Structure 1
């Protein structure tokens, strides 16, 4: 059983000693323009230039507020300069005193509370925690649940209550966003609750955003980050509308000074280690989502640094030992498998740590090959360097075989690795790179096949329809590789795609249809894949993807009816959904011939 195999795993020696970086400051260099040394004189300026790190950039706010960044040029730098940094610990624990109760719904819309009960509320949060929260650690679900209780305690003696309104792990804004996403993934089970919340969600959260951003806690940063994800959905917004809110996340990083390495504050005793680690974790969560959204939209990341000067997230044995539990939605699937993953160690902090490391390599790929800057002259050397770094990452990360412990975030970690390899080599699919042994096509083909197998693994244990948006990028990008391989085979003597290529395309198309149950963008992506097959692989387009469903080993309980999926796809296409940059590239009525087809499809960056 998977949990037994996991217990045999040795997760020691995971923390590298080079996580923290030091700042090297050197004096200015000068040139002697005379034959002899000039007479010594007293300089009006110090030998070392005064850098921004010499200024106290983080300023406290009154009460239990956050630290705010103000640099040397701001008038706010000298406001309450000597005030101590406020403590951020909670004022009390979650245990109830006589006369107290948890008013769990007081921060939710009143219209929603008419149709939402506590069972639905808790199951929505549990679903989010199981399949969403641990990917890039966008939410510390255990701390969130604990502080949800703390911040919503009511008493028959209000004057005795000392509960905070929000903490670094919980805020009313974040509470609403998490519940909405949990209902979104289960909207077929609770359609009335989802529809009611959808109608008032934007207005309600916008009001909360305004209140919390006056003194924003870390939880508000996480909330606006996920709020942008919600607004990218077609039924309450659009892709570009949600994208603008991602920019608010980046701005909030500046406000809170999360882009500052605060090790010196800890050394001086002016910041606790727990606050330091919480700030770093919040930064890296935002960094990773900005990176994933950049490949989704085919745009440069808003957080530009491929390797930030922020220590990688700490690995915590306590967090790793926290048990993982599936949501009630997948109980039937566990019974079919004959065993469960419930109760295994989540390993969430270790996965997060290694996710940020592979994220920096992906950022370097994007910065080198997909940004708007000038292409490097020594392209082969750069590709070889990144490829070697990817090999080292894969050999050092502790989850050698995701089948041993197929938790959602572990599978996604491996998918991101293979996706990075495709993005590194796909621009050179039909060329050769002299400094590496395998051809770029071989690298891409193997990575796409690995992603397909990981999609099967995820679908078998969890159901792909419950996956995060990153699956759309991985699925579509793998499909482009399979299409390229099939077209190459078709150009051969038999003028037909190989049987293996045909099967790969059919299976990857099926997985896109599974994602389309949850994401309207995936329905658009499926239409694009089908159009590409019709245009370039007519023999394959005449076959049915249904023939291979039984061979894939998929979750039969979540297969959509043909009518339901057709309605979803037609609705999205009919409303002109702007989906993750797909339609910005493909124009099926004006497709060029072979070479241009390759150049076009290789330059495409898919949706996530």
Structure 2
């Protein structure tokens, strides 16, 4: 026994002596010989042996970051080279660029000068955001400054433990400041990035409230009809392609006769106008169609990727972005905008003997988006459900064998776009109302539509009833495919998180909740640089950022009265930060484009963030400014979104129900007439009864006051025996977690 103890002691002493000289990373030669390495460069052993090269391999963890940075640098160099080559073959810049190359100037310097000269001219810059006036540049910078200055989350470096006690650290990239890059080494070097701090130039025009629209929109109103027609022609040609935009010459026969596609109107120019509005302001986030193939078949009259049903559904959506009388079923009633096109779409849908057609699935998605905007959530849910069910029945979630033929590639692209549009819309509605999605959890999904360079670099400009800015105040690359692909990836994470919350037979655990949160953070950290707000600020990009924060807010909102044991991540703080981020993004969107033209789900985002602001204000943690701004934003959106009116009613009811100290003006323009009949006194007026009671023909999913056992609880502390979960709308689902499962799941009540 004594000898064994001595032997153990000698072994332990050897181990203790060896720990002090272990190097974290040995050179390649020492690792081959299994010899000690002192970590020097070169190390002592390699120095003593002649002809031996001392090489250190980069550790795997470091190599991934190094490779990512290297790939980004190569992409930048490739773009710079392509830019210089394009300038060399041009007629106006070839000599200038050639002289710069002969003088030994670097690609970075040459492309910077090209960008600077492009920003001072009125021509488009390919894949670069361009400005014709420095005042536009600076005004846009001012509009985006609130979003770009959003602070990082304080929970970014906090760790949590799972049930086994193993600590996990959240990614350090949690909600980075807007415009910040994941790799500092490439920041401000990308030629696609806008130069936010010009060295010289006049001060911005403070009179332009909306820099992309306000300046030229005001001028357009005083111009002749000819000028407006020219503006529309330019805008339609930019958004829809060169075969379109014929309105500038009304005497010429219109090439796109719409008699094949709709019998609601014979005005081909109006049809093109509404299509341009849709593709400008709504496309591509929930797009279930492939724009290029749809427009080609629309132009040629081909029924393969275009149909009368699809065209009428698309026009019904486009009507929301117009104030023209011709876009209304009743010219004197703005609330009937698009109703005639939608009625025609319903008629065509009812006459279809077989709905297993790609264009029908696409049309159902567009009709669902339109009904969501109008506030008819029950109808929108039904149409969205029909779209995803038909997509599954047709096997669109499965990849088909792709041959080398062009036709096969087109078929795959359209099938993929159709499935992912239906899938993303189903996730958005499931997230909003709190339910499991229609698609199973672990099924392998079809590949996403490929990114095509010429589609990515196609220009985006703000287009309205008056056309588009003739002076081209700002032209951006649309990045349509990148936005769509990245948005679909976010929808996949939403899909997984819904099963985390609503799977029957299981309890939600803090570990699963934080794992879902980490997936969101990783997605945000890995989005392409071109979709960050230092590079691009199209409505689709802003919408994707809003949706990200919306998803995180709804992930944590049920647990807003709880703490996560062993973690510094506070559901209440995360919800507050997500709500503030949404408000900030909406503010930037408003300053850029106004809120008269926003994608369909934006009022849902504002409602959800405003409810979080009510909770924060009710607990006396912050002032009323953000809530007041949310109410003002919804009022501005009532002109194009019927749901914005209902959202105001819901906020009014919750403010009264939770006794939150804030003034809510009932007589402002845009507030529903029924809402003004309630007055004060606890909100027991007629408006509350009309708003809150479900109907036999429509189960409204946003119903805060239903006379049942499961009534809305307050925003304060949890009363003994009360349900600890916070869920404002009783008719919606809720995570499967009760009071007895709190401790098991890793939660506890907020003190």
TM-score w.r.t. structure 2 length?
A: 0.56
Deviation, structure 1 residue 478: 1.0
Structure 2 equivalent of residue 528 of structure 1: 650
Q: What residue in structure 1 maps to residue 703 of structure 2?
A: 583
Q: 512, 516, 536: which one pairs with 1:386?
A: 516
CA deviation vs aligned residue, 1:352-385 (integer Å, no higher than 9, x gap)? 111111111111221111x2513346x1221222
SS at match of 2:421: helix
Q: Distance in 1 between matches of 2:639 and 2:338?
A: 18
- Residue of 406, 412, 417 corresponding to 2:537: 406
Name the structure 2 match of 1:248: 386
The corresponding residue for 1:361 is 493
Tell me, in whole angstroms, the C-alpha distance in 2 between the residues paired with 1:329 and 1:8: 37
1:397 partnered with 2:516? no
Q: How does 1:332-481 map to 2 (within 5 A)?
A: 340-341=473-474, 343-369=475-501, 371=502, 373-376=504-507, 379-399=509-529, 401-402=532-533, 404-434=535-565, 436-481=567-612
How far residue 231 of structure 1 moved from its aligned partner, in angstroms, is 4.9
| Higher alpha-carbon Rg | 2
Matched residues in 1 for 2:359 and 2:540: separation? 21
Correspondence 1:551-570 to 2 at 5 A: 562-567=668-673
2:92 is aligned with 1:3: no
8 Å contact 1:323–1:345 — kept in the other structure? yes
What is the rounded CA distance, in whole Å, between the counterparts of 1:518 and 1:597 in structure 2? Answer: 38
Distance in 2 separating the partners of 1:480 and 1:564? 19
Equivalent position SS for 1:422: helix
Separation in 1 of the partners of 2:625 and 2:598? Answer: 23
Question: Secondary structure of the residue that 2:505 maps to in structure 1?
Answer: coil
CA distance in structure 2 between the aligned counterparts of 1:606 and 1:398, rounded to whole angstroms: 35
SS of the aligned residue for 1:432 comes to strand
**Residue 320 of structure 1 pairs with residue 456 of structure 2:** yes
SS in 1 for 2:596: helix
**C-alpha distance 570-102 of structure 1, shift in aligned 2 (>3 A):** farther
CA contact (8 A) 2:553 2:578 kept: yes
1:504 to 593, 614, 626: 626
Give the secondary-structure state (helix, strand or coil) at the position aligned to 2:312: helix
* d(CA) in 1 for partners of 2:634, 2:268: 33
- Tell me the distance in 1 between the aligned counterparts of 2:732 and 2:613: 14
Q: What SS is found at the alignment partner of 1:344?
A: strand
Gaps of 5+ in 2: 1-118, 120-127, 131-136, 138-178, 180-187, 194-241, 245-252, 678-685, 734-751
1:519/1:143 CA distance change after superposition, 3 Å: same
Once residues 600 and 254 of structure 2 are traced to their aligned partners in structure 1, the CA distance between those partners, rounded to angstroms, is 37
What's the CA shift string for 1:79-104, capped at 9, x where partnerless?
xxxxxxxxxxxxxx979xxxx97352
User: What SS does structure 1 have at the residue aligned with 2:536?
Assistant: coil
Query: Structure 1, residues 301-327: CA drift from partner, whole Å, max 9, x if none?
Result: 222336643223322222211111222
In 2, distance between residues paired with 1:227 and 1:603? 25
- Alpha-carbon contact 1:306-1:367 (below 8 Å) kept: no
What residue is the counterpart of 1:105 in the other structure?
258
* Structure 1 residues 303 and 584, CA gap change in structure 2 (3 angstroms): farther
Does 1:225 pair with 2:365?
Answer: yes
Contact 2:377 2:701 in 1 (8 A): no
The count of corresponding residues between Structure 1 and Structure 2 is 473
Distance 1:187 1:300 in 2: 38
Distance 1:580-1:516 versus aligned 2 partners, 3 A rule: farther
Unpaired segments ≥5 residues, structure 1:
13-92, 152-163, 490-496, 546-560
2:224 match = none
Distance 2:283 2:436 in 1: 25
* 1:79 alignment partner in structure 2: none
SS in 1 for 2:476: coil
Q: TM-score under structure 1 normalisation?
A: 0.67
Per-residue CA distance 1:19-60 (angstroms, 9 max, x = gap): xxxxxxxxxxxxxxxxxxxxxxxxxxxxxxxxxxxxxxxxxx
Equivalence for 1:540 = 662
Is contact 1:228–1:243 with CA below 8 Å preserved after alignment? yes
Give the whole-Å Cα distance in 2 for the aligned partners of 1:538 and 1:184: 34
Name 2:293's counterpart in structure 1. 143
